[in-house]
Structure 1
């Protein structure tokens, strides 16, 4: 005698409290009503659907609840043998303050260029500061990456800088801009030797001749914030702006931006993509038809 297959409701009752079952069923029924072919959805379909949910419901907790319910639906399909794979098992919704990039608070390429115009009353520091700022606004390096740069990481002949990897970011070789070559050549061959007070291989040093620290970089950038009193200018927001500009101003492919930024995951880079209102409407209409 053939065993009767459990219903979705019966399956959910094995795992959830009664009230949660009702909430999950409501969400799943709405999902299936809007997406009658959802039984055959693949990972890419679910990624696009989740993106539409994020646009439709800005509250992160709503997105988490919807994804949790839909995951249980696909758990049910796998458990009952209707599918052999789970299209959204590995999908997650990142929570916390950094789950989205506030692109409107960042800086354009033209605004970042303004930082290079600042003059310094100390002759040596002006050259050093421009070198440091150029690595922030052209290569989008983090403060930690800058303090770990050695002189031999700069290849003036090939116009490249070798950026060391870390547990958060990939090692990478980035091209220098033409305007940086002269700055770096002057700094490495003239300014830095005159500033040096102790033996070190580190590229960027302080006015006292010692390797620069992250705090010193923050202190150097801080006075520049007066240029943009309504926004938060710091090394981190500069890097974020550079990445956003690669993506949205220069229209570089996501894979290239990921490589330039040293991101380990494409999803980290994707957060910097600006979606215009038309694309938002198209995405919502595709997955939430009226």
Structure 2
């Protein structure tokens, strides 16, 4: 077990996660002993199915069983790395009754950069007789300048819509070149560096655009929310709906904000270890981060080249 623990540490797992994986692996050892499976290296796919059925009969929830299989899978991955087994009996085990994370088409880093760099903040209204009451050009420009500041936090820091909505003015630490994202019941807090290219737009938003929005809405009392609606509606989802509409016009592959976040996390996984990406993404559990590995098509292509060169 000590060698297994060391392998997990090298893979970037935290001490609490390692303790959980080891504990669940020992659950399997105890079950295998009762079932007279004396040699763990001879475990088959059917043995894992029987192990799952064991917990089904005990009334264990599907999500818990799925975690057990995921954690046990790590042990067999280690055995494979040691040359003790040739395949992983936990592979292709799907626990029914669990809501699955949607897989997205991953946008390349070049595509993400292009969305930000090419997002226009200037508006030129075309003269048309059918457009009797066009919205004021200045309001559209204010909205787009705000949206570009938001877009930078999406494509460079991988924030979610919930993160954006909860951001406060003091969370933006421009002198340090960082942004703080507070934790919730579902996510951990983190502090992420800002890209130099987005600092100017954030400065412009805070020092000019945001002040104009407050002025036009006749708000005089202090407001701590970083991003504000142009109109009176408290519903900030309108902001994202309009932003996504603009981004789809720029790149037809864009689906939604979740896709952008998934793309950013997948690119992080190509560059950093799993534990670091977990911290950057604000995931409470490392299994949440691992789900994004399924989106990593480049890794899949490399596996195909390595194991099936023809």
For this structure pair, what is the TM-score category when the shorter chain's length is used for normalisation? 0.5 to 0.7
Q: 2:192 aligns with which of 161, 166, 174?
A: 174
Residue 106 (structure 1) aligned with residue 106 (structure 2): yes
Query: Contact 1:60–1:95 (CA<8 Å) still a contact in 2?
Result: no
1:237 maps to: 259
Residue 206 (structure 1) aligned with residue 263 (structure 2): no
Q: Match of 1:204, SS?
A: coil
Q: 1:260 aligns with which of 280, 283, 287?
A: 280
Larger Rg, first or second structure (1 or 2): 1
CA distance in 2 between partners of 1:149 and 1:191 (Å): 17
1:151 maps to: 169
Query: Contact 2:187–2:283 (CA<8 Å) still a contact in 1?
Result: yes
CA distance in 2 between partners of 1:137 and 1:26 (Å): 40
1:127 offset after TM fit, Å?
2.0
1:224 maps to: 247
CA distance in 2 between partners of 1:26 and 1:171 (Å): 39
1:52 offset after TM fit, Å?
3.9
* Distance change >3 Å, CA 252–CA 212, structure 1 → 2: farther
* Distance change >3 Å, CA 145–CA 271, structure 1 → 2: same
* Distance change >3 Å, CA 155–CA 25, structure 1 → 2: closer
* Distance change >3 Å, CA 109–CA 152, structure 1 → 2: same
1:159 offset after TM fit, Å?
0.8
Q: Match of 2:157, SS?
A: coil
Q: Match of 1:60, SS?
A: coil
Query: Contact 2:165–2:236 (CA<8 Å) still a contact in 1?
Result: yes
Q: Which whole-Å deviations, capped at 9, do the CAs of 1:152-178 have from their partners, x for residues lacking one?
A: 111111011110111111111111111
* Distance change >3 Å, CA 148–CA 131, structure 1 → 2: same
Query: Contact 2:45–2:89 (CA<8 Å) still a contact in 1?
Result: no
Q: Which whole-Å deviations, capped at 9, do the CAs of 1:97-131 have from their partners, x for residues lacking one?
A: 31xx636x121111112222122423322321110
1:28 maps to: 47
1:49 offset after TM fit, Å?
7.7
CA distance in 2 between partners of 1:215 and 1:48 (Å): 47
Q: Match of 2:176, SS?
A: coil
- How many aligned residue pairs are there? 216
Q: Which whole-Å deviations, capped at 9, do the CAs of 1:36-72 have from their partners, x for residues lacking one?
A: xxxxxx88424668994565x3x725xx7xxxxxxxx
* Distance change >3 Å, CA 49–CA 216, structure 1 → 2: farther
1:256 offset after TM fit, Å?
1.1
Unaligned runs of 5+ in 2: 1-30, 36-42, 51-71, 81-86, 124-139
Residue 276 (structure 1) aligned with residue 300 (structure 2): yes
Query: Contact 2:73–2:88 (CA<8 Å) still a contact in 1?
Result: no
TM score, norm. by length of structure 1 = 0.63
CA distance in 2 between partners of 1:30 and 1:167 (Å): 33
Unaligned runs of 5+ in 1: 1-7, 13-23, 32-41, 65-93, 285-290
Q: Which whole-Å deviations, capped at 9, do the CAs of 1:179-216 have from their partners, x for residues lacking one?
A: 12111111111111111122421111122377661342
TM score, norm. by length of structure 2 = 0.59
Q: Match of 2:292, SS?
A: coil
